[in-house]
Amino acid sequence: MTGAFNDTTNRTSYDVIVIGGGAGGLNAALVLARARRSVVVVDSGEPRNAPSAHMHSFLSRDGVPPLSVLETGRAEIARYGAVLLKGQVDQVEAGEPGGYVVRLAGGATLDARHVVLASGLRDELPAVPGLRALWGKDVIFCPYCHGYEVRDQPLVVLGVHPASAGQALLLRQWSHDVVYVPHSQPLTEEDRERMDARGVRVAEGPVSCVLTEGGRLRAVELADGRTLECAAVFVFPKMTPNDAAFDGLGCARDEAGWLVTDRAGRTSRPGLWAVGNVVDSRAQAVTAAGMGAAAAFALNHDLVDEEIEQAVAAHRAATTATATVR
């Protein structure tokens, strides 16, 4: 099968282990495998955009099903010898010398000189009946991903986050018919004025449920019984990075608890890298892929530098030994 998981080896030691086989992890693996590094991608197979039928804003892939992009990516990296392992990484630990041991659910271990964390994030929706079933279809959050498809149609924004008001104001770029419902996030006077000025209507919440017809969104029902017919509901999910595998390694985190990296994806601990949504909630698929590629470049350079250093040390030792014999 095209792009299938291909782990038929008993190999356990690699130059690089990539945790997560979404756009970020697969692009990192592609660049590394083409740089002739031994690479394994361990992936639990739940990319964030899986609920959506179409992926947008990815040059040359606009409108294609997101899972088909990953299937193509898996086939591409397999062509260069990268191994794809279906599994869940539980923990990464320091190994010897200077490398890392990766523990998989079920007890197996792999070891590598460097580890790239590309495990994405989890989206948690507010507990509104009906919302989750439509996630990625008629319930969405990113206008750059799916705004064009609902342009000029009635849109409802659920106020659940300090940034929800900004989301409603942004959506006026795509539709003149935007209604903001302060569900659990009260509206400031300043934002109310901005909405008035931009023609975003406000319907006092909270929302009690979403109503469907034929499996598609029909309307949002408010607690007082009113309904708002709409083509899409925009809502900010609570985003939590899938970074528990790096717990206990002492990598620096920001005040919100997210891993901190440099522009190439280096964490504060040598040999550990992180790319895509696990470190940047705003990264779209193409951005995550680019982060994976950038990290792979820098990682390969670090490995080459290590190898040069080791070669020079060995060369000097050999030269000294030869001189002593003479």
Ligand X SMILES: Cc1cc2nc3c(=O)[nH]c(=O)nc-3n(C[C@H](O)[C@H](O)[C@H](O)COP(=O)(O)OP(=O)(O)OC[C@H]3O[C@@H](n4cnc5c(N)ncnc54)[C@H](O)[C@@H]3O)c2cc1C
Binding stretches for ligand X (CB under 6 A): 19-25, 42-49, 51-52, 55-58, 88-89, 118-120, 123, 136, 142, 145, 242, 245, 276-277, 283-286, 288
Contact yes or no for 299/306 (Cβ under 8 A): no
Taking the C-alpha atoms of residue 126 and residue 118, their distance in angstroms, rounded to an integer, is: 26
Query: Smaller CB distance to ligand X: residue 14 or 58?
Result: 58
DSSP codes of every residue in 219-244:
EEEETTS-EEE-SEEEEPPEEEE--G
Query: Smaller CB distance to ligand X: residue 16 or 222?
Result: 16
Minimum distance between the CB of residue 197 and ligand X, rounded to whole angstroms? 30
Q: Cα angle vertex 168, ends 163, 169, to 5°? A: 95
Minimum distance between the CB of residue 123 and ligand X, rounded to whole angstroms? 5
Query: Smaller CB distance to ligand X: residue 91 or 268?
Result: 91
Query: Smaller CB distance to ligand X: residue 58 or 174?
Result: 58
The 10 Å Cβ neighbour count of residue 56 is 19
Query: Smaller CB distance to ligand X: residue 224 or 247?
Result: 247
Minimum distance between the CB of residue 169 and ligand X, rounded to whole angstroms? 21
Minimum distance between the CB of residue 35 and ligand X, rounded to whole angstroms? 20
Query: Smaller CB distance to ligand X: residue 216 or 316?
Result: 216
Taking the C-alpha atoms of residue 265 and residue 16, their distance in angstroms, rounded to an integer, is: 14
Taking the C-alpha atoms of residue 183 and residue 68, their distance in angstroms, rounded to an integer, is: 36
Query: Smaller CB distance to ligand X: residue 217 or 285?
Result: 285
Q: Which two tokens stand for residue 4?
A: 């299938």
Torsion angle, alpha carbons of 180, 200, 150, 286, to 10: -80
Q: Return the closest-CA partner of residue 113 out of 84, 92, 90.
A: 92
Minimum distance between the CB of residue 291 and ligand X, rounded to whole angstroms? 8
Minimum distance between the CB of residue 225 and ligand X, rounded to whole angstroms? 29
Minimum distance between the CB of residue 176 and ligand X, rounded to whole angstroms? 23
Query: Smaller CB distance to ligand X: residue 103 or 201?
Result: 103
Query: Smaller CB distance to ligand X: residue 64 or 211?
Result: 64
Q: Return the closest-CA partner of residue 252 out of 234, 276, 272, 223.
A: 272
Minimum distance between the CB of residue 55 and ligand X, rounded to whole angstroms? 4
Minimum distance between the CB of residue 64 and ligand X, rounded to whole angstroms? 10
Burial of 217 (0-12, 13-18, 19+ CB in 10 A): buried
Distances (CA, A) of 315 to 97, 306, 322: 20, 14, 10
Task: Give the largest Cα separation in the chain, rounded.
Answer: 96
Residues near 68 by beta carbon (within 8 Å), at least 6 away in sequence: none
Question: Taking the CA of residue 135 as centre, how many other CA atoms within 13 Å lie in the half-sphere pointing to its CB?
Answer: 18
